[in-house]
Chains A and B, each alone.
Chain A
Amino acid sequence: MISDPHDPFAHLCSDHGGEHPSVLNLPYVPLGLKQEWLELETRRHFLGRGSKALAWAGLATLLGRSAPHLLADTGALPGLQPHFAPKAKRAIYLFMAGAPSQFETWDYKPKLSDLFDKDLPESVRGGQVLTGMTASQARLPIAPSFYKFAQQGKAGHWVSELFPYTGKIADELCVIKSLYTEAINHEPAILSMTTGNMFPGKPSLGSWLAYGLGAINEELPTFVVMTSKMPVRTNVQALSNRLWSSGFLSPEYAAVALRSGGDPVLYLQDPKGVSRDVRRAVIDGVNDLNRQLFERVGDPEINTRIAQYEMAFRMQTSVPEVTDFSDEPASTWDLYGPKAKEPGTYAYNCLMARRLAERGVRFTQIFLRTWDNHSNLPTNIRAMAEDSDRPTQGLITDLKRRGMLDDTLVIWGGEFGRTVYSQGTLKPDNYGRDHHPRCFSMWMCGAGTKPGVSHGETDDFSYNIVKDPVHIRDFHATILHQFGIDHNKLTFKSQGLDQRLTGVLPAKVIHDLLA
């Protein structure tokens, strides 16, 4: 593969070499063509969904809107309530796409400094298959972290010097060092993390929550996604709406993706000469036609369509209010930093996430990519940390002072870990790290998670887990548990299975993470 150093999308990864973001992100594709592509995509989805459509016909007609009103007049148990009293009402998931290295962030490995440029012992690697990017390397030389660590707070978490701000709130964090996954390449790994399955077509975590719990605020989407402006222009990861799709669930449970520039949601403004009343009348008319069609053919997708027209109309009022930051006190900008004023930055998205959570959006997922540091890791990861450290701390501090951290779960992490050995040339101050699925670190905070906990341990090379492994399934089961959901009971029939986020293999709630 020839990579052009001036091409912002040039990439070293073999698994998505040269892969660009979605067709829709490409500037040189005419708008009309994009629209046509979208329409075709919708038609394909529609045809593909025919088979599963009837499964939720009953539900869709029962509910009309997705909020869990008291449904029954009969005294029967309502269908869309948590199984038990929840600790979390909402979550903000800070998705560090591309997979941050655990060595420079949350898994401190002091013994490695004596092993600079030594070969990774075969006994540690245990014959593991490596990616095509490093399998042919003559050596696998050990690369100690370029960055120093210090213990912070009462809990004594070892925190990297890359995170001076997050270090201040270290006592709030529940750090897990023993996550693992099966996938060694980005797309299957990021799908596993977002949907519980490495194959496309499954609902994402946010969609399951929307389906299972409904909306808190019917004027806003239940599930919102924001992608952030990239602090680094190398190692760019593709993100696609597969990661926040509703899979086989009704499309109304998919995320509404807020755009990072211009109008946060396209076409919310009334066209010139069209008043809000006229808009309302048009939507009523379209809904009537759709209802007639539904009565004739009974396809529940039609109800979804009606619900989406209604949501779009409601967002005409609710979105401008939530995206207008003029009512923020001065202290907000001190917390999140000056970049929070620039739409689309990670800092801006963090502030937006708080505003959405305040108004009852259940699940907000912020994607920050370019953590995929195969080369020049020390330089690039510093830029990533500088972009995200302060707003992350700002968000948690802000949630806490407003009493929201009590029932808002915050999650930070990527899709897998990185290798202890250097990819490419190793120097004390420059190296790269390849993908590593056997262990990685994440943290959670708020909503009944145990503050100050450090869970799980890896070996001295952060290569293998030696204590308390946490599979993604367990992680998902734990998140659902905080929302009052038994992961075995949140199911949807599709393709002959009672499908669930945690899949068919056993998963367990990690109670050690919970207060």
Chain B
Amino acid sequence: MICWPDLSLPALLSAVLLALAPSFAQAEPATYADRVAPLLDRNCTVCHGAEKHKAGLRLDSYAAILQGAESGAVVKPGDLKGSEIYRRITLPTHDEDFMPSDGKPPLGSAEVVLLEKWIAAGAPETAAFEAPPLPPVVVVPPAAPDYRSRLAQANELARTLGVQLVPRSQVSTDGLIVRTASAPAQCTDAVLAKLAPVADLIVEAELARTQTTDAGLHAVAAWVNLQRLDLTRTAVTSAGMIALAPLSKLEAINLTSTKVDDQGLAVLQANPALKKIWVFASAATPVP
């Protein structure tokens, strides 16, 4: 007898779904084209493809895979143990022969199982074979539009305004950081307004010690993809916080050493996106 203690309907549903999950994972028809080729493309063909063919091996077509490397076959249909590719991807990661090499990420366990099932089923070119589905890929929504085509514009803008516009990372949809630490005093409300052409690219604004006032926050409000905003030691007040209300992606705001008080804090707390608000040495009562 199983007891269900106080489970709400959604919790109950998810419990049921979890219980069902393994049966989904059991098997699903897969084909070389649908599943194996994309897997090899993700993990292997950078070195074993059209551009490079290390060890004389290409893994970018069915024929090439069966042809193997200089040293011989890498896939022997139906013979898992005799398949060099399987041996290599299942070695300890520190082994010299381990693939992918050069510190590239190892195949996920579901990916290894897929190759295993394919080879064991005779490595068919078109026929379907049974394999568990891959776990769903978590798609992280881009933080901002692709910056690549707009770098020149951003660079020129930053130069004229005396601030820096720094990509958060080499991932071109990670957005730009407005950085002012080298010359915070040069960053005025007028400068913030002039950043409008790149407004949608800005994900983070380091405005500590700048000349930003409440008026400047109206410009900031147009930075629709803004996630983090540092206003430490600026002249902003509670009145300015209202302007920030539309920022639906704003996760963290730093108001250390500002005049913002509980009124401003309340305005910010109404924004469901905001997870972190720092008010040390401000006029607001710290949030526990």
Contacts and interface: CB of A to CB of B under 8 A. Distances in A.
Contacts of B102: 488
B166 interface: yes
A420 to B, nearest CB: 29
B65 to A, nearest CB: 27
B280 to A, nearest CB: 4
Contacts, number: 94
Interface residues of B, number: 37
Contacts of A496: none
Contacts of A86: 168-169
B46 interface: no
B232 A70 contact: no
Contacts of A484: 169
Given A70-B154, A70-B155, A406-B276, A83 B170 contact: yes
A46 interface: no
A71 B208 CA distance: 25
A494 to B, nearest CB: 18
Given A78-B170, A81-B169, A217-B181, A69 B278 contact: no
Given A70-B151, A506-B103, A402 B167 contact: no
A329 B170 CA distance: 39
A218 interface: yes
A215 B166 CA distance: 11
A73 B93 CA distance: 40
A196 B5 CA distance: 54
Contacts of A82: 168-170
Contacts of A84: 169-171, 174
A218 B163 CA distance: 11
B247 to A, nearest CB: 17
A426 to B, nearest CB: 40
Interface string B185-227: 0000000000000000000000010000000000000000000
A72 interface: yes
Contacts of B232: 358, 402-403
B280 A77 contact: no
Contacts of B281: 329
Contacts of A401: 256, 278, 280, 286
Q: Is the interface of A mostly helix, strand, loop or mixed?
A: loop
Nearest to A214: B166
Given A72-B151, A219-B182, A403 B254 contact: yes
A70 B158 contact: yes
A218 B181 CA distance: 8
Interface string B134-163: 000000000100001101101100100000
Interface string B80-99: 00000000000001100000
Contacts of A81: 166-170
A402 B278 contact: yes
B167 A506 contact: no
B155 A506 contact: no
B168 A85 contact: yes
A359 B155 CA distance: 23
A17 interface: no
Contacts of B148: 75, 77
B274 to A, nearest CB: 13
Contacts of B169: 81-86, 484
A359 B230 CA distance: 13
Interface in A465-492: 484, 486, 488
B252 interface: yes
B172 interface: yes
| Most A CB within 10 A of own CB, among B165, B232, B256, B280 | B280
A112 interface: no
Closest 5 CB pairs of A and B: A403-B278, A360-B181, A488-B103, A217-B181, A70-B155
5 contacts: A75-B151, A81-B169, A85-B168, A360-B181, A401-B256
Given A81-B167, A403-B252, 5 more contacts: A75-B152, A82-B168, A358-B232, A403-B280, A488-B102
